[in-house]
A = this chain, B = another copy of it.
Amino acid sequence: MPARVGDALADVDTPALIVDLDKFDANLARLMQAVAGHKVRVRPHAKSHKCVEIARRQVAAGAAGICVQKASEAEPFLAGGIEDVLVTNEVVGERKLARLAGLAARFPAARLGVCVDDAGAALKLARACDEADTRMDVYIELDVGHNRAGVSDPAAAVALARVVDAQPSLTLRGLQAYFGSAQHRRSIGERRQAISAASALARSARDALVSAGLPCGTITGGGTGTFLFEATSGVYNEIQPGSYILMDLDYAKNVQDPSWPTFEQSLFILTTVMSRRRDAISDRATLDAGLKAFSTDSGSAMPAFPGWQVRGVSDEHTVLERVGDGPELALGDKPLLIPGHIDPTVNLHEWIVAVRNDRVEQVWRVDARGAVY
């Protein structure tokens, strides 16, 4: 564990994930305030934080439950008392289905849901539930533009929904209609247009299910980049933002509508200056955090302070070089970085150190770290 409650921030071992609790609390409140007037449930995505304590705080603030991406990821949240968990993903393979059905059997008071986009897979899910003597909520995944998984049109949704609805161990709940890539489109107009098209397709699919006499109580989707478009669509009645609570550099690149809530960067990576050099090549500080402390898929983590830029990142190091006025950075100093993309970054750490006024208030376990199965 990199820190104990009461430690000063400067005494936390590095590299460590740091949550600024004031900013975290503000993000939590702002999301709930932003959707307070709309008829949507909030089901935050826990794939970004993987932390039961954060999920508990989201539920305490009014969330209906959480989303996860994997059967193995659902387990620590159910065990930690989160009673409504939706796996927003297909689960394929006998071992995985047995694990998922086993969770439903082990937590009978909880609501557990999963997505399907294939009739054969739905039948295997039903068989796994039968064998575990349990049942499961099921959502038809509709591909609303991401072009990854999901059925492509209302007719296919109806055909698959009939198969699901005919299985006694499966309860058809509605549609998973998440447009992942729309979250990161930079302009407001692009994001609005994407969710407008997604909403139209989801509405058609919902109407087709209802016309066919099939239940479709829930249309769920939406992330940090678009959630207010889903919330005001008249179609979606549940939203799934995840990144809003911690934030990252990639989301910070989105142009924001001033009428939307501002989510502040609340997650940082605390590092230590482990080597310091000034020579003909550069004035540089080498930090003790690299590719094993943050993901670079959306760009490197960057200094949370001026005057320095990232010269290079390797497995265990980030080299900063001075490019202007900023802090001195002496050997042993502990600068903060801002992660480029939180989901794969948080997954690298076992602990999140929750800090207020430069004091450690709590240390949270990343319970679902590495839950890839």
Contacts and interface: CB of A to CB of B under 8 A. Distances in A.
A95 B2 CA distance: 9
Interface in A270-306: 272-277, 279, 281-282, 284, 286, 288-289, 291-293, 295-297
A337 to B, nearest CB: 13
B316 A274 contact: no
A120 B15 CA distance: 22
Given A95-B13, A286-B148, A293-B372, A314 B180 contact: yes
A152 B370 contact: no
A168 interface: no
Interface in A86-118: 89-93, 95-96, 117-118
B297 A148 contact: no
Copies of this chain in the oligomer: 2
Interface residues of A, number: 65
A319 interface: yes
Describe A's contact surface by its main secondary structure. Answer: loop
Listed residue (A14, A276, A315) with the most chain B CB atoms within 10 angstroms of its CB: A315
A90 B314 contact: no
B148 A272 contact: no
Interface stretch (A159-167, A208-216, A345-353, A357-365): A345-353
6 contacts: A13-B373, A47-B316, A92-B332, A148-B317, A292-B344, A315-B344
